[in-house]
């Protein structure tokens, strides 16, 4: 399972949902959904914009979580 780390990477850089959505040129509701639900599916183009706004490689936005079944 993949978890997005957007919130935990954005907050130390001084971003909130609103400022990140402006910087990434994404809709507020899109960023809010990803921010509040790190397991939400997101388009690669959206993640690319977020990584550019955060000045991070796109792979830093992901964390692999082992499935509970294992």
What would the pLDDT profile of 14-66 be if each residue is shown by its tens digit?
999 999 999 999 999 999 999 999 999 999 999 999 999 999 999 999 999 98
- Give residue limits of the domains in the chain: 2-64
Please write the tens of the pLDDT for every residue from 58-70.
999 999 998 876 5
How far is 41 from 58, CA to CA, in rounded Å?
A: 15
Residue 3: strand pairing partners: 63
In DSSP notation, 1-39 reads -EEE-HHHHHGGGT--HHHHHHHHT--HHHHHHHHH-TT
The third-level CATH classification (topology) of the domain covering 2-64 is 434 Repressor (Amino-terminal Domain) (1.10.260)
Model pTM?
A: 0.90
């Amino acid at each position: 399972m993949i978890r997005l780390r957007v919130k935990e990477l954005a907050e130390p850089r001084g971003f909130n949902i609103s400022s990140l959505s402006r910087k990434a040129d994404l809709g507020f509701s899109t960023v809010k959904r990803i921010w509040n639900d790190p397991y939400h599916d997101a388009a690669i183009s959206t993640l690319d914009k977020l990584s550019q706004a955060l000045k991070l490689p796109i792979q830093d936005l992901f964390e692999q979580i082992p499935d509970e079944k294992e």
